[in-house]
């Protein structure tokens, strides 16, 4: 159909070119999600602290990161970090650092919305029990905020997985790079990109469907 020949794709080709890139894409997604949520939560707490010394830098970082294309940030970190430390760190490690730093800004806004969605009465109840700000957040507010924001956090993770394809700009070996190499070596570039698109679609569609089911289940529990 349309002159495409997909017969060159078999398990040996996938194992040789694609599996390694897929594993890195998944690893990058997981590490960036966990790191982004951790640092994003810290940024959200800084913005909600009511202290100008914390709110200002956090707001500047979040708004700054959210105003710059991800591929540009990837190139910045890849070129600037080796310049600052005096030695190369590799495309894969640079991608991990970049994605954590970038996603922290987006997860911060999700967490901030989740924290603000908790009724103020819960905060006052914790204070009435003698809890400190940190205890109140750790034991009462954040657990509820995570539960409320879980579908949104997972949706952002799916977007993050799609964005991992941008590491091609620095030569990191991800899922898309694997298909690209296979297509170039076997002279089937168009077919390789088509298959890559199908794989991304199937994975992201399945994850999106799972998130939708989870969201419905959480809504029923409420």
Domains assigned to the chain: 19-176 (1.10.3720.10)
Neighbours of 77 (CB within 10 A): 21
> Residue 92: which of 70, 71, 73, 74 has the closest Cα?
74
Number of continuous H segments (helices) and E segments (strands) in the chain:
10, 0
Q: What is the rounded average pLDDT for all residues in the chain?
A: 87
Rounded to an integer, what is the distance from CA 164 to the centroid of its chain? 8
Q: What is the pLDDT of residue 14?
A: 82
pLDDT digits (tens, 9 = 90+) for 75-89: 988 988 888 888 888
Give me the mean pLDDT over the 19-43 stretch. Answer: 95
> Residue 44: which of 140, 136, 110 has the closest Cα?
110
Q: What is the pLDDT of residue 222?
A: 52
pLDDT of 99 higher than 80 = yes
pLDDT of 214 higher than 80 = yes
| CA dist., res. 177 & res. 27, Å (int) | 15
pLDDT digits (tens, 9 = 90+) for 37-48: 999 999 998 998
> Residue 133: which of 198, 193, 49, 196 has the closest Cα?
49
**Comparison of pLDDT for 158 and 218, the residue scoring more:** 158
pTM: 0.87
| CA dist., res. 108 & res. 123, Å (int) | 20
Q: Which two tokens stand for residue 169?
A: 């700009």
Residue with the two structure tokens 């993050």: 160
Give me the mean pLDDT over the 200-219 stretch. Answer: 88
């Amino acid at each position: 159909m349309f002159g495409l020949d997909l017969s060159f794709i078999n398990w040996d080709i996938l194992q040789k070119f694609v599996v390694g890139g897929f594993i890195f894409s998944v690893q990058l997604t997981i590490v960036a999600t966990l790191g982004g949520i951790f640092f994003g939560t810290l940024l959200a707490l800084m913005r909600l602290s009511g202290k100008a010394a914390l709110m200002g830098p956090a707001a500047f970082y979040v708004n700054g990161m959210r105003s710059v294309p991800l591929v540009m940030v990837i190139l910045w970190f890849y070129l600037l970090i080796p310049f600052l430390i005096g030695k190369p760190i590799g495309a894969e490690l640079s991608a991990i650092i970049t994605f954590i730093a970038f996603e922290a800004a987006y997860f911060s806004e999700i967490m901030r919305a989740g924290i603000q969605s908790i009724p103020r009465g819960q905060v006052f109840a914790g204070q009435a029990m003698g809890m400190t700000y940190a205890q109140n957040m750790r034991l009462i507010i954040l657990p509820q905020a995570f539960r409320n924001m879980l579908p949104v956090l997972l949706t952002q993770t799916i977007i993050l997985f799609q964005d991992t394809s941008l590491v091609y700009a620095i030569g990191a070996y991800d899922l898309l790079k694997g298909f690209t190499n296979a297509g170039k070596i076997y002279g089937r570039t168009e077919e390789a990109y088509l298959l890559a698109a199908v794989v991304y679609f199937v994975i992201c569609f399945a994850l999106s469907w799972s998130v939708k089911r989870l969201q419905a289940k959480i809504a029923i529990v409420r």
